[in-house]
Amino acid sequence: MEHLGSTGGLQLKGSIFTHCSGLTRLVQVNQKLTDDELTRACLDLLSKHPSLSCRRLRILLRERFGCSCRTDRVYAVWWSIRAELEKRFSEPAEPSALEQDLTRARQQIATLEAALFDAEDRARRAEERERAHQDRWAAEIHELRQQLQQSRQWRV
């Protein structure tokens, strides 16, 4: 409800003016959305919420615009949009486009397999270097321990 003061005889469509203590108030009634507004709102809400149900749509319309329109009207617009979207996404692509996509996918697979082979080969070589490094230091530590043990035996 919005306070307007004196209206000077102005009457707005879809609104009622009430007189309350000498002041005029505007009360919104039967606020409607045009088909275009409803369609745009449905498309907007669908883009934000792809799995939106018609019931949830009416709730969101009420929150956004203050009205949710007639149920049959919302359902009709809703199903026409859904049918159009399904038709648009279910149409098969041209065979040449599919062949090009398949060729690109095969090239990407070959590239990725080569990169995987290189990465596995680098990892294998790194593990071999690490194993050789660990073996070398283990042998050196073993040798030093033997030398230490022998020097202790000579002292005693």
CB 86 within 8 A of CB 77: no
Across the chain, mean pLDDT equals 78
What is the mean predicted confidence (pLDDT) over 114-120? Answer: 95
Instruction: Answer whether 0.85 is exceeded by the pTM.
Output: no
Together in a domain, 19 and 49: no
Distance CA 156, CA 148 (A): 13
Together in a domain, 104 and 154: yes
Together in a domain, 108 and 56: no
Together in a domain, 108 and 150: yes
Together in a domain, 110 and 154: yes
Q: Does residue 89 surpass a pLDDT of 50? A: yes
Together in a domain, 56 and 106: no
Together in a domain, 104 and 156: yes
For residue 116, what pLDDT band results from cuts at 50, 70 and 90? very high
Together in a domain, 15 and 60: no
Together in a domain, 80 and 112: no
Number of domains in the chain: 3
The bridge status of strand 15-20 relative to strand 23-28 is antiparallel
Together in a domain, 12 and 46: no
Together in a domain, 126 and 112: yes
CB 23 within 8 A of CB 5: yes
Domain that holds residue 154: 100-156
- The amino acid that residue 22 corresponds to is G
What is the mean predicted confidence (pLDDT) over 75-97? Answer: 77
Q: Does residue 19 surpass a pLDDT of 50? A: no
Distance CA 30, CA 19 (A): 19
Distance CA 103, CA 114 (A): 17
Q: What's the pLDDT score for residue 56?
A: 83
Q: Quote the percentage of the chain above a pLDDT of 70.
A: 76
For residue 140, what pLDDT band results from cuts at 50, 70 and 90? very high
Together in a domain, 76 and 55: yes
